[in-house]
Structures are given as C-alpha cells and as structure tokens.
Structure 1
C-alpha cells in the first residue's frame, strides 16, 4: 500500500513539476506572493525542478527514504504560504475562482504532508528513533 501511495505521490509531483516548467508557468506564477523577494518566474521554475527531483527521489530505492519523506514534507510546507497568499489576495488560478474553493484547497496541504511522511515511512522512522533514545 505504501509503495502504491509513494508512486502516486511521485507521479503527482512529477506532473506538477513538469507543468511548472512547460505548460502552466503563467498559472503557477499567479500563486507566487508579491512579497516574495524573488521573481515569480524564477520561483516557478525552481519549484518545478525541485518537484521533478523529489518525484525521482521517491522512486529510487534507497535506505534514505525516510529522509526523502521529510524533505518532501518540508517542500509542501514551504509552498504553503503561496497557497495562503492565493486565498488572502483572491488570485484565480487552477480553477480556484472563489474564496470557498481557495479556502478548501488550504486543507489539502496538511494531507499532502501526512501522505509524504506516511508513504516513505518517515513518521514511523522518527517515532522509532525517538523511542530508542528514551532511557529505560
């Protein structure tokens, strides 16, 4: 089940990353907050490259998979301010053209973080390490 979830997450990230780089750059630029000190196009291209790299990392067999899970979760956390800005500023993108739709989207970010931590075993790895450090 985790393998299927990890492959699906990799597919999601890969598709999103490629769309950042090629066919939806303008749409993604609408999500970059104005207060971010970097150009919107740079942010979109850089995040696209990161998403593709994370997708590949999720698919490569490695003993560092829990670390990859934490990195993917951190990435989802890092882009969350863009989703909040889209809601607060009322920017239309991805068919999110109402405040209700933009607000609903915000609730999916924690699910993506949980998905990344679960399907890579990152959360379980963290709990095991924490338990092993407790005095007996």
Structure 2
C-alpha cells in the first residue's frame, strides 16, 4: 500500500510568463482565496539561486497536482515543455492522476501535432477550456476545484 505523502503545495502551476496576467488575475484569486488551495508559482515560490530545472522538478514533486495553463505562448516555451515533461514523467512514475490541463486559448488539435506528448494526454485525459462566455465561468471554476480534489 502506497503511503500518503504530505505535499507542500496542492498544485504546481505551469505557465508561460506571457500568460502571467491571467494566472495572477483569474487563477490565483479563485483557487487560493476562494477555494483555499496552495499553489506553487515559479515567479513567487522558486528558490533564488537554485538551478531552474532543479526548482521545476522539486516543486512539481512537492505538489499533489500540476496545472498546465495552455496557450500558444505555452506551446512555444522551452521551459513549459520541460515542466510538461517532468509532470508527464511523474504520471508514469507514480501512476498518479496528477495533471490538469487548462486551455486558455483555442488551439486546434493539428497545432498540437508537434507536441506529441501533449496530444496523447489530451486524447486520454479530461481537460478544461476557459469559457468564452461570462456565464460559464462559475462552472469552469467548479470543475477545476473538483479536479484538484481528486487524489
């Protein structure tokens, strides 16, 4: 029987700095203030002076889940790709459902072709899409909160 590990964070948030405004203005206040989840954000929680890759690996493994905020900028980022690789490896390594994908922009599936790993994940996993209509936003947050509750 697997021991229940004590995590430092509920979720590591993988995002591109171009999308930081959405993360700080939408994701952070809702998940931390309303739902009281503890999030790990690179701009705030990474240990200064430590190798970035080491920070990524340690913080992903110190979090119950990894939330990937997917945009065109995310798909173009080498660091986001590394974070996705570490989170994907953890999926196979620990057999944990630890990945939550949020598509903040519409990205056609053919655009995901070069991102073989993500395309496979999207086919196998449930993912969330940021609603285009204001009235659908509360349901989005509810679904994300439920996704974070699963162990």
Work out whether the TM-score is over 0.5: no
The structure with the larger Rg is 1
- Greater relative CO, 1 or 2 (CA 8 Å, sep 6+): 1
Question: What is the TM-score of this pair, normalised by structure 1?
Answer: 0.30
Query: Relative to total residues, which structure has the larger helix share, 1 or 2?
Result: 1
Question: What is the TM-score of this pair, normalised by structure 2?
Answer: 0.28
Query: Relative to total residues, which structure has the larger strand share, 1 or 2?
Result: 2
